[in-house]
Structure 1
Amino acid sequence: MTVQTERPSSDPADLRKADDGKAGGPPPPAASRAGAFAPYLLLLPALAATVLLLGWPLLKDVLLSFQNLNMGQLIQHVTEWNGVDNYKETLTSEDFWRVTLRSILFTAVNVVLIMVLGTLVGLLLARLGKRMRVTLLLGLVLAWAMPIVAATTVYQWLFAQRFGVVNWVLDKLGWHSMADYSWTSSQMSTFFVVIVLIVWMSIPFVAINLYAATTTIPNELYEAASLDGAGAWRSFTTVTMPFLRPFLYATTFLEIIWVFKAFVQVLAFNGGGPDRLTEILPVYAYVEGMGNQHYGMGAAIAVLTILVLLGLTAYYLRIVLKQEEDAL
């Protein structure tokens, strides 16, 4: 008995109909265009909020920097343009360059301390047991979550001249000259307290994120390094550091930005004193603008502050990219 089988049709029209009926066929052109624009539509609300909340104030600040605006013009609603006079006066002022250098050194000291101590605490978290790790994480989160003004007030109490805990402890330890020491009487002592405050508030971010990064390192790499005879230091340099290096680069970049604009801590602790010796660029712009009611001058200093920060971050990114190229 002969069984006849039907051969599949080779007609192009039939083949197109069969392909169109398949679930895996190509989507229609309209659906493809809609899918291509979908990511941009999802980003549109965030972009609009960024332009509204950041772009418009920045534009207003730039416009104010080209105006001679004080309380008289503000009350009379008079716009007096003075070109680049505010920038000329600022850039030819010794105070501006002194404050700029002070801000860069202040940022460098803080970032180095934050990254070193935060990295050590993060590595400690990876070594601790579960209970101790949870306890330390809870303390770090509480320090991180404390409002800046509240934390600054606490440090003002701790380092108070007459009833401060720090002076009392130092006196009990034998440094009797520190019993009534004023931590806000000199530039270095004021900066010391502000740096301790900023480092204390910034360590949790570095430590918690670094600990999270260590959990992504496969244990097989440590086992292989141990079989090769690597000790603790060699395992750290050959296994741990390569995984943590991108995180450290990104975190250092963020810390440079955050510390450079540490406005609240410096202003709230001692108002940039004594004798304006602890002012950094954000505080300097505020004092010149709001304090002295030279709003155009303050706006010009703010714009220059942004440019200085962009220059620092660009220089840092250039170093990071060069190191990555050398590593490759």
Structure 2
Amino acid sequence: MSAQTEEATAGAAPPAGKGGSPPARRGGDRRTGNAGKSVPYLLILPAAVFTVLLLGWIMVENGLLSFQNLNRRQLIRRTTEWTGLSNYTDTLGNSEFWRVTLRSIVFTAANVALIMLIGCLIGLLLARLGKKLRLLLSLGLVLTWAMPVVAATTVFQWLFAQRFGVVNYVLDQLGWHSMADYNWTGGQFSTFFVITVLIVWQSVPFVAINLYAATTTIPKELYEAAALDGAGVWKRFTSVTFPFLKPFFLATTFLEVIWIFKSFTQVFVINEGGPDRLTETLPVYAFVEGMNNQHFGMGSAISILTILILVTMSAYYLRLVLKQEEDEL
């Protein structure tokens, strides 16, 4: 046998069979690939189980309660009175429920619009500031966002207090003397104004910081090319910035709709839904009917309907977000 034949024989791959390693490697690769695909699901399994146990059980209990007539008498006697869909029919047939629903939707839309507008402007400002000013503004935003909701609401109660509030004092010093003892929680629109300022103030930092983080992913070459083409500030925003930030806008708007619609603490603590229950939103309305009026079954039914309304409102934005993700893939 020649040297060339021996080299070819030595360098040839072993045949597939008992001692052939290629088939074994392919099977091992398939097993490794299948195991690798299951790793993400195994990692999220503890969180999913915990979520189902913590939130799912509460939802089940709340759903069962919505089919019962439960008030103080039933609690004392420890009896269960199943009423079927009567709590839902009574709620849906109550004109007050629909007034509160409309009020909640308008309240959510106004707050989300203001939050997105102001938050986006501040986020774009962060992208243009120098390092020191950006750090200072970011620190202020983070501290605002990290402030507990109850503490922030209490501070705003002090700011807008009728007799010793800072806002009334400043307005009086600026020449609006009729505002010296103005009662901000005495009317529907003035109360909503205070609540809106509070919620916008708390929510803007999340939008601004996330928008600034999203702007850092936009290639600088695109702005340079747009500038060479003679594009102005607005044209650069619509042709470069907005297309890249569109997924951010959709996802953030979706989150803000959920967070604002279910806001309870700010609305309740400022004036407990007053005056005359004119500033109640659906979460506060459910709490007042369930706890204050001792109609626990009715309150549960209202809360379930609130969730359904929120899901319906968010369905459009959720569909846009999912479609955006599919297009990116």
Same fold? TM cut 0.5? yes
Once the two structures are superposed, the pairs formed by residues 266-281 of structure 1 within 5 Å of their partners are: 266-281=267-282
Distance 1:56 1:179 in 2: 51
**Deviates most, 61-70 or 31-40:** 31-40
Aligned counterparts of 2:67 and 2:21: Cα–Cα separation in 1: 69
Q: 2:14–2:20: 8 Å Cα contact kept in structure 1?
A: no
CA RMSD of aligned residues (A): 2.3
Task: Spell out, residue by residue over 1:67-103, the C-alpha distance to the aligned partner (whole angstroms, 9 max, x if none).
Answer: 0001221232211100011011101101100000000
3-state secondary structure, aligned to 1:27: helix
Correspondence for 1:12: 15
Distance in 2, matches of 1:206 and 1:13, equals: 60
TM-score of the pair, normalised by structure 2: 0.92
Cα distance 1:69–1:270, how it changes in 2: closer, same or farther (>3 A)?
same
Kindly, what percent of the aligned residue pairs are identical? 66
Q: Offset at 1:234?
A: 1.2
Amino acid of the structure 2 residue aligned with 1:182: N
TM-aligned CA distance change 1:28 to 1:141, over 3 Å: closer
Report which stretch shifted further, 157-166 or 75-84: 75-84
Match for 2:212: what amino acid?
Y
Q: 71-80 vs 34-43, which deviates more? A: 34-43
* Distance (Å, rounded) in 2 between the aligned partners of 1:3 and 1:68: 96
Residue 211 of structure 1 pairs with residue 212 of structure 2 = yes
- After superposition, the Cα gap between the structure-2 partners of 1:324 and 1:145, relative to the gap in structure 1 and judged at 3 Å, is closer
Q: How far does residue 41 in structure 1 lie from its aligned partner after superposition? A: 2.0
Secondary structure in 1 matching 2:154: helix
User: CA, structure 1 residues 10+307, in 2 after alignment: closer, same or farther (shift >3 Å)?
Assistant: closer
- The answer to whether the 8 Å contact 2:247/2:324 transfers is no
What residue is the counterpart of 2:239 in the other structure? 238
Q: Please say if 1:192 is aligned against 2:193.
A: yes
Unpaired runs of at least 5, structure 1: none
Q: 1:241-296: CA deviations, max 9, x gaps?
A: 11111101100000000000110000011100000000000000000001111000
Q: Aligned in 2, Cα 1:253/1:4: closer, same or farther, shift over 3 Å?
A: closer
Q: For residue 44 of structure 2, what is the aligned residue in structure 1?
A: 43
Aligned residue type for 1:213? A
**Structure 2 counterpart of 1:98:** 99
Amino acid at match of 1:171: D
Shift of 1:10: 7.7
Matching of residues 58-97 of structure 1 within 5 Å: 58-97=59-98
Using the alignment, how far apart are the partners of 1:321 and 1:48 within structure 2?
24
**Superposition pairs for residues 240-259 of structure 1, below 5 Å?**
240-259=241-260
- Taking a change above 3 Å as real, the CA distance of residues 267 and 234 of structure 1, as seen in their structure-2 partners, is same
Change (3 A) 1:27 1:146: same
Give the aligned partner of residue 182 of structure 2: 181
Does residue 168 of structure 1 match 2:169? yes
- Written as runs of structure 1 = structure 2, the 5 A alignment for 1:312-327 is 312-318=313-319
Q: CA deviation at 1:54?
A: 1.0
Could you tell me which residue of structure 2 aligns to residue 117 of structure 1? 118
Cα–Cα, structure 1 residues 29 and 136, in superposed 2: closer, same or farther, change >3 Å?
closer
What's the CA shift string for 1:118-146, capped at 9, x where partnerless?
00000000010000000000100011000
Q: Which moved more, 1:105-114 or 1:42-51?
A: 42-51
Amino acid at match of 2:61: K
Deviation at 1:39, TM superposition (A): 2.6
Against the structure 1 CA distance between its residues 51 and 4, is the aligned structure 2 distance closer, same or farther, given a 3 Å change threshold? closer
CA contact (8 A) 2:14 2:21 kept: no
| Matched residue SS, 2:28 | coil
Partner of 2:134: 133
Q: Determine the C-alpha separation between the residues in 1 that align with 2:53 and 2:77.
A: 27
Under a length normalisation based on structure 1, what TM-score does the superposition of the two structures give?
0.92
Moved over 6 A (4+): 319-325
Distance 1:266 1:65 in 2: 24
Find the residue that maps to 1:180 and give its secondary structure.
Answer: coil
Aligned residue pairs, count: 323
Distance 1:14 1:123, change over 3 A: same
**Are the structure 2 counterparts of residues 171 and 31 from structure 1 closer, same or farther at C-alpha, using a change threshold of 3 Å?**
same
Amino acid corresponding to residue 17 of structure 1 in structure 2: G
